[in-house]
Amino acid sequence: MIQQITPLETQKVLDLCSGIGGFTLGHLISGGFETVAFCEINHYCQQVLNLRFPQIPIISDIHDITVESLCRVGVKEIDGIIAGLPCPPKQFAIRNSQLLIRSKRHESKY
């Protein structure tokens, strides 16, 4: 016998490097999570997210995520962060660090 386990409380998550929303779709199916905002820089992916999840706001650049920017799009609180990593290096590099990122397509010092 399969028993459905219902979460006690829905967790509000911020979805970084969202792609076309695979994690959010999985969470909708499994339950227990509510995506309150996406962060995705790719224009094509943003279009797909807008079609699939028109009620969820999108912040384009991960560097623009602040408490203030989340409040501006209606996000008051989050319980966790999910991320579709690896995000392409130039999109996810941390500002003002000396992180060296190497991949087949990129070699950049940030």
Taking only the tens place, the pLDDT of each residue in 6-32 is 666 889 999 999 999 999 999 888 888
Please provide residue 6's backbone torsions phi and psi, each rounded to the nearest 5 degrees. Answer: -100, 125
CATH topology of domain 11-109: Rossmann fold (3.40.50)
Q: Are 84 and 16 in contact (CB under 8 A)?
A: yes
Proportion of the chain in helix, strand, coil states, percent, rounded to 5: 30, 25, 50
Grade residue 98 by pLDDT with cuts at 50, 70 and 90.
Answer: very low
| Cα separation, 94 vs 17, whole angstroms | 14
The pTM assigned to this predicted structure is: 0.72
For the cut 80, the answer to whether the pLDDT of residue 4 exceeds it is no
Q: What pLDDT score does 7 carry? A: 60
* pLDDT tens for each residue of 47-76: 999 999 999 999 999 889 999 999 999 999
